[in-house]
């Protein structure tokens, strides 16, 4: 089905002079359209590497990524990306940042403007179209980042610790916002995070990785409806279970929100 993502035997090996470091071994995952997948794992286990390979910003050593039946070669607007440090263009206004993907695709100006405005509104930034990036708070910046990634109607958005630079309160608000936005647009999301709490709160499925060389340790399905209650017994139980898994990988997860029992 179009929009489904298939990741097959993805591996990455770094070669330095005489040493070979396996960063990721044999990562395979089938993702259905509209699903929200989070990837958690010990620090430095290669979570970002997976995202960058799906995005086409990094060449895998072996394996393939297929989006909607097509094999991906290099980066493209069918796979949007949201960055931890936002990576907005500071010389462009909010509107011009969101329009970027449409601009490079040659969408006519009027249509570009109309579509960008719609997405700016949908991330809750209506009225800030002409603001410059440095005038926005962290949470608002990431809303622009999300709108910019969504405006080209990608099959999937790849989020690399998108809320890692935000304070705890803003982070919780943004999690709810993300669910609202992606639910409405039926966008598939692959989300890398350090925070187990965040993962349990937003995911349809959580992929837990082992330490390097990263392999899939377990895939946990969470069928609970939204909004989820962070203080409910099953929520805390699942969080504890995942934290245990990560601890057994020897390295403490450093997610500040997630680490608190």
Partner 1 sequence: MNLELLNYDENDKSHRFIRKMVISAVSLVVFFLIWWNLALLLNNPAVPTPRETWDAMLYLFDKGDMVSGMTMWGHMSISLQRFIAGLLIALAVAVPMGLLLGYSNTINEFSSPTLEILRPIAPIAWAPIFLFTVGYVWGPILVVFVGIFFPMLTNTIFGVKKIEPNWVDASKTLGANKLQVFTKVMLPASVPYVMNGLRIGMGVGWMCIVASELYASFGGGVGYFISIQAQFGYWPNVFVGIVLIAILGLLTTGLSDYAYRTIVKRMGIE
Residues lying near partner 1 in the complex (CB under 8 A): 55-57, 74-77, 79-81, 83, 85, 87-91, 100-101, 103-105, 132-134, 148-149, 152, 158
- 96 vs 205, which CB is nearer to partner 1? 96
Going 29 to 10 to 158 to 44, the CA torsion angle's sign is positive
Q: Give the 3-state secondary structure percentages of the chain, helix then strand then coil, rounded to 5.
A: 35, 25, 40
Smallest separation (angstroms) from partner 1 to the CB of 201: 26
- Residue ranges in the chain assigned as alpha helix (H): 47-55, 94-104, 109-122, 138-150, 168-185, 196-202, 233-248
Residue 225 DSSP symbol: P
Contact 131, 90 (CB under 8 A): no
Smallest separation (angstroms) from partner 1 to the CB of 29: 20
Smallest separation (angstroms) from partner 1 to the CB of 189: 14
**Residue 76 to residue 67: CA distance in whole angstroms:** 11
- 36 vs 81, which CB is nearer to partner 1? 81
Nearest to 100 by CA among 55, 150, 50: 150
- 100 vs 224, which CB is nearer to partner 1? 100
- 83 vs 201, which CB is nearer to partner 1? 83
**Residue 82 to residue 141: CA distance in whole angstroms:** 11
- 85 vs 129, which CB is nearer to partner 1? 85
- 12 vs 239, which CB is nearer to partner 1? 12
Smallest separation (angstroms) from partner 1 to the CB of 200: 28
- 57 vs 168, which CB is nearer to partner 1? 57
Sheet harboring 5-16: ordered strands across? 19-31, 5-16, 62-67, 70-71
Contact 79, 54 (CB under 8 A): yes
Q: How far is CA 76 from CA 5, 55, 79, 141, 143, in A?
A: 15, 7, 6, 22, 21
Tokens encoding 117: 């405005």
């Amino acid at each position: 089905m179009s929009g489904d993502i298939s990741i097959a035997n993805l591996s990455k090996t770094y070669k330095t002079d005489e040493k070979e470091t396996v960063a990721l071994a044999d990562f395979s995952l089938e993702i259905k359209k509209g699903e929200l997948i989070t990837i958690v794992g010990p620090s430095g286990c290669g979570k970002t590497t997976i995202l960058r390979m799906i995005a086409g910003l990094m060449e895998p050593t072996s394996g393939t990524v297929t989006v909607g039946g097509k094999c991906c070669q290099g980066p493209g607007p069918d796979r949007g990306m949201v960055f931890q440090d936002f990576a907005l263009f500071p010389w462009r206004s909010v509107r011009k940042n969101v329009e970027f993907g449409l601009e490079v695709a040659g969408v006519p100006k009027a249509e570009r403007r109309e579509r960008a405005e719609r997405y700016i509104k949908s991330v809750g930034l209506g009225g800030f179209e002409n603001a410059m990036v440095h005038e926005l708070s962290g949470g608002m910046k990431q809303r622009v980042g999300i709108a910019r990634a969504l405006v080209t109607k990608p099959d999937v958005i790849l989020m690399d610790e998108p809320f890692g630079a935000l304070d705890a309160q803003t982070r919780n608000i943004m999690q709810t916002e993300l669910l609202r936005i992606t639910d409405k647009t039926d966008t598939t999301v692959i989300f890398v995070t350090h925070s187990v709490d965040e993962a349990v709160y937003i995911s349809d499925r959580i992929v837990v990785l082992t330490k390097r060389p990263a392999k899939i340790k377990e895939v946990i399905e969470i069928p609970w409806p939204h909004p989820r209650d962070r203080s409910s017994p099953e929520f805390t139980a699942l969080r504890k279970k995942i934290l245990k898994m990560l601890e057994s990988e020897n390295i403490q997860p450093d997610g500040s929100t997630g680490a608190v029992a």
